[in-house]
Structure 1
């Protein structure tokens, strides 16, 4: 169900682009901030990212995805999105767990989200992330969460 995808493939990028617009619109409404990067970036900007993407596919459709940036000891979770019609089915949790289980040499994971995005914060905390800091960036209060595995 979860597999690595190539964001350079036009059809893949189009599916991710549509998915992130639906998913991040829900977050934008929760945190009352309409200028989230996934809502304002173009498909060309999406395709040019160096993030590594994984998808969750149901009946040939990408209904969930996660993207990461990785270095030797750290993974930064850049995007985590699920089609709103599939919310609360454990898909985001499975994507997070897939990243952790497929990167056993990594001991530090980080992610940021809007401080008002209580469902996301609850999800991250439920899989072992802890709030570390807050930052006001471009008018949005962000919370940075981290997880250490060793």
Structure 2
């Protein structure tokens, strides 16, 4: 358990929560031979494109799929978005490193056992 906390929102979502999110988030998935192997979602919050629930099947990590999903989420952002925002656990050092390589900066760490860390990136072009 990287963040030492099982109360992280992704770990608490039930089927009803996931179903409800489909009406307020644009959700993108990657399948291989019918198997769900990755997903990411995005939505506009003011002028910020919020990226959430980026996930890759554990046996496929390290192959660039997460980077591809993040880049896709950025590409499909609403035209009026001027920045991107995402969240990760404050102790998720591998995630923080990946997001920093992709141009994100930690803006703040929220209260709670796991943070979370809030990262942002200006939208260019």
> TM-score, normalization: structure 1?
0.73
Pairing partner for 1:120 from 95, 117, 120: 95
More helix by share: 1
Residues 1-150 of structure 1: pairs in structure 2 closer than 5 A:
29-49=1-21, 50-71=24-45, 73-103=47-77, 105=79, 106-137=81-112, 139-150=113-124
After TM superposition, give the deviation of residue 130 of structure 1 in Å. Answer: 0.9
| Equivalent pairs, count | 121
Work out whether residues 40 and 55 of structure 2, in 8 Å CA contact, stay in contact via their aligned partners in 1. Answer: yes
Unaligned stretches of 5+ in structure 1? 1-28
Root-mean-square deviation over aligned CA pairs:
1.6
Runs of 4+ more than 3 Å apart: none
String of CA shifts for 1:78-103, please: whole Å, max 9, x gaps. 21111111111111100011122233
